[in-house]
Amino acid sequence: MLRAHNPNVTVLSAGSSDDLAALSPDLLARSRLIAYVTPEIVSTDTLAALGYGAINFHPGPPDYPGWAPAHFALYERATEFGATVHVMVERVDAGPIIDVARFPIPPDISVLGLEGLAYGHLAQLFWRMAKSLATEAGAPPPLPIEWGRRKYSRRAYRAICDIPLDIAKDELDRRLKVFGGNHFGIGPTINLHGVEFRAVLPQAG
């Protein structure tokens, strides 16, 4: 899609931070980084070396910066979700926001279903931004939208999966529904006398 708007653009795939680190300073000085739904943290040195900056496509709205936004949105019973495009800076999900898509969260949707909707909206954002990303030197102007104050993290995800023994049934059901899929290799666990028990949702039927 980028090459369709600018045949002179060269597109290189970098699947990891190591791949980025292997690129020469001369190449970075002639490049723009487009991070699309990636968990990789880009180093400050790499960001500074990019001649045309870095743009990140985040699978969540500005209200949910950081890790696993769909999980936390469903756990907190949010009514709206979305996708965000922003300029990358040293701090994760903190740079100027340049485009946003929002949509209502359907009732009883699963984590994977909500992520799928977010990815679909991200694809639409990329589609409409592709021309400017491929042909314009500067980033699109920022929108007057601020990131949410709370940054969601892997640590917060692990903490919510640590089930206390005195948890109320409705809260246990809520955590199992959202976090019981063993996503990222992390699932709800109970520790009893030094033994760890993993809680799983009962199989249908």
Give me the CATH number covering residue 49.
3.40.50.170
Residues 162 and 120 in one domain: no
Give the H/E segment covering residue 131.
Answer: helix 111-135
- Select from 135, 164, 179 the last residue of a domain: 135
Beta bridge partners of 198: 189
Residue where a domain terminates, one of 102, 135, 168: 135
Residue at 100 is within a domain: yes
pLDDT in tens, 135-152: 999 888 999 999 999 999
**Interval 157-200: pLDDT, tens:** 999 999 999 999 999 999 999 998 888 889 999 988 888 888 77
Q: Are residues 125 and 190 in the same domain?
A: no
| 98 and 174 assigned to the same domain | no
Share of the chain above pLDDT 70, in %: 98
At 98-120, the pLDDT tens digits run: 999 999 999 999 999 999 999 99
Kindly state whether residue 140 falls inside one of the protein's structural domains. no
Q: How many domains does the structure of the chain reveal?
A: 2
Q: Are residues 160 and 92 part of one domain?
A: no
Query: Could you tell me if 130 and 168 lie in one domain?
Result: no
**Domain limits for position 60:** 2-135
Across residues 124-141, what is the average pLDDT? 92
Q: Are residues 59 and 123 in the same domain?
A: yes
Contacts by 150-153, CB closer than 8 A, 24 or more apart? 150/65, 151/65, 151/66, 151/92, 151/93, 152/64, 152/65, 152/66, 152/67, 152/68, 152/69, 152/72, 153/66, 153/67
Co-location of 81 and 180 in the same domain: no
Same domain? For 158 and 123 the reply is no
| pTM reported for the whole predicted model | 0.90
Instruction: Render pLDDT for 83-102 as a digit per residue (tens, 0 to 9).
Output: 999 999 988 888 999 999 99
Angle, vertex CA 142, rays to CA 136 and CA 148, nearest 5? 140
At 205, the pLDDT band (50, 70, 90 cuts) reads very low
